Amino acid sequence: MTAARLDAPVKVTGRAKYGADHNVPGMVYGYVVLSTVAHAELEAMDVTAAKSAPGVLGVYSPFDPLELRTPVSPLFGETWVPMQTKEVAYYGQAIGFVVAETFEQARDAAMLVDVSYRVRPALTSLEEGLATAEDAPPGRDGTPATFEVLEDGVESFDDALAASPVVVEATYHTATQNHAAMEPHSAVAVWDDGVLTVYSGNQGAHLQAQELASALDLPPEAVHAVNPYVGGAFGGKGRTSAPAFLAAAAAKALDRPVKAALTREQVFTATAGRAATVQKMTLGAERDGTLVALRHDSWCSTDAHRAFVEPTSHGTSREWYATRNLHISQKVVPLNIPPTTFMRAPGEAPGSFALESAIDELAVALDMDPIELRMRNNSTAPPGHDLQWSSKHLDECFQIGAQRFGWAQRRPRGHTDGDWQVGLGTATAMFPALRFPTTVGITLRDDDTAVVATSGADPGTGLLTVLSLVGGESLDIAPEKIEPRLGDSSLPPGGLSGGSTATASVGTAIMIAATKAIDELVALAADPGAPFAGAEVTYADGRVLADGKSMTFGELLRAVGRPALEVTGSSAPGEELTKHSFSSFGAQFCEVRVHQWTREVRVSRMLGVFDTGRIINARAARSQLMGGMIWGLSAALHEGLGIEANGRLANGDFASYLLPVNADIPEVDVHFVEYPDTLHNAVGAKGLGEIGTVGMAAAIANAVHNATGVRVRHIPITIEDLLAEAKPQ
């Protein structure tokens, strides 16, 4: 199916109301105060001048805190709440909150807060912290930090490696990144008769309401979270933000609605980003390319509270290739840096740079085509795991991609075009196919329309349109007759728009709810006194039918005097998890051009071929995958946060944190290998929101090597990396 996005008209005309767009009578403004050291204990905060500044209503700090406590989420565990301690763990930590009649008054007063610190030694460099690395905790599936699979008769991984005729070993580095969503984190908090309403962009209204209720010691029904529009999230708005916690508590203390929004610079520290990583890859292979041994040792930065692990080795080498011997390890390096968290394809995006670069290096060492090497080691199941993939058409992705991209014309050392060195690169992309527990409500109305509703969010993914498409299909009516509703915690709990789960999770729940609605409608039509009393009633095309007669469901509801029929349907992962492994797959291709003299890198073509199950809305799916591929280009050539020794971000703003613009983006092509996967879910769709970014950075680095002969083992790749070894051909 292909459909226009239902939210597009209101977004492009400026009529969509995001969190900070809400204004209510009597509203005042909050401004967050941030720390200016990386590690310390707050000794004192002199707020005298701030409190006496024009328009100021309240100044809060750990010395005079708002009433908040640390919430515990069933999905995330503990969520950090600002100003609950005098400990400063990173530069840019939220340590104060000023509320005034206007934003400008709050901002100016915040500048008057005088902070005294008892400064402590700070560790801010991943490289310097490697010596203090710790084993990561077990993954959500229980996999330990160090995991090994050995074939029968092999006593150790080192023995397997020693027996490998060809060995490749290298270390790769990826940079810290920020989500850089268009909408900064913000919240408008309003109390009314003991009930809190918060307007705030978030990836799951129901989850945000739960966290706020826990933090404020309220019953769940006393918090109403509203976020129908979210200006980008990518994992950075999965948890409740500092502005939401602070605005909610301050609004209660002042008995005034409070709006709080982070500035763009504050977003870089007062939220969370992607960890930096160091990854050591060791591959052993037969001379025909068959993998004998694969070792992937990973280190990632994390904040001082060890809030998150970037599972690079576990997210890639744990599953991607058939190998007789496997050893993976994951360590964390606690630093005095802003928190790390989920970011588009967490683990898989940086992990694929290391793994897919190493596979390319092995192909060079073997003098083998990189696609042939990947297909030769295609896995039917994760190594050491008996559960085979529910469906996998990765080989077809590579075959189609190679044909469409002109891979047969690739030369082992690239070619030149005037002053440009031209090279082609490729990489595998994989991302787990997951589902979250989800409930959807369906209301059939007497005007022959239906409401399909759930509390989940649409942070730009097109989920609102998916509700109308799957809802219309499941109820056998036109999608135009569906009114989809999202982003409100008063709706049935819709899980989280994250992990590329939303379509599979919500779609399955819609199908269950629709079946219940149709069953109840058919039973209603046959009830005593109903139009088809005692008859055998069926349903098709939005109509109930019996004895050669039919009527629409709206006509039936009017006939029995009911304005509506309401049901809910719930879905969650079940016994299929014990029968199969699930993933989406893809093959990434790119062409790069490197100037022989300036060493400027330009990506001139990109192609992604993806096996992501059934495609519900081809237009939105293609857009999502293109966006992911562009993000992969951005990681390869642009993005990287610099952290100074004192913990300050050297480029924590959009002026100096490099992101691609239109001029950086070439022809981007997306092709689907469409095989519905009904073993995964009844809809047949698998996640595609995140897989687009997986592998692309490696494909670009591989293409740079093909063009220049220079192997760059870190991202972002810079001109300086190629100047040092310029080799005009």
Rounded distance between C-alpha atoms, residue 679 and residue 698, angstroms? 31
Contact between residue 445 and residue 557 where contact means Cβ atoms under 8 Å apart = yes
Q: Which of 16, 82, 113 is nearest to 248 (CA)?
A: 82
Q: Which of 362, 392, 501, 353 is nearest to 436 (CA)?
A: 501
- Token reading at 704: 């740079």
Contact between residue 487 and residue 228 where contact means Cβ atoms under 8 Å apart = yes
Q: With b meaning 16 or more CB within 10 Å and e meaning fewer, what string describes 696-715?
A: bbbbbbbbbbbbbebbbbbb
Taking every pair of C-alpha atoms in the chain, what is the biggest distance, in angstroms?
Answer: 87
Q: Which of 121, 136, 137, 135 is nearest to 335 (CA)?
A: 121
Rounded distance between C-alpha atoms, residue 336 and residue 647, angstroms? 7
Task: Name the residue with tokens 């309403």.
Answer: 197
Helix (H) or strand (E) holding 288: none
Helix (H) or strand (E) holding 523: helix 502-526
Q: Which positions are annotated as active-site residues?
A: 690
Instruction: Beginning with the edge strand found earlier in the chain, give each strand of the sheet holding 195-199 in spatial order.
Output: 56-60, 94-100, 28-34, 258-261, 186-192, 195-199, 223-226
Amino acid at 645: A
Task: Name the residue with tokens 């005037």.
Answer: 418
Q: Could you count the other beta carbons within 10 Å of the beta carbon of residue 46? A: 14
H helices within 225-341, ranges in order?
242-254, 264-270, 312-315
Rounded distance between C-alpha atoms, residue 333 and residue 307, angstroms? 11
Contact between residue 198 and residue 228 where contact means Cβ atoms under 8 Å apart = no
Taking CA atoms, 457 is separated from 201, 274, 549, in Å, by 9, 22, 41
Q: With b meaning 16 or more CB within 10 Å and e meaning fewer, what string describes 291-317?
A: bbbbbbbbbbbbbbeebbbbbbbbbbb
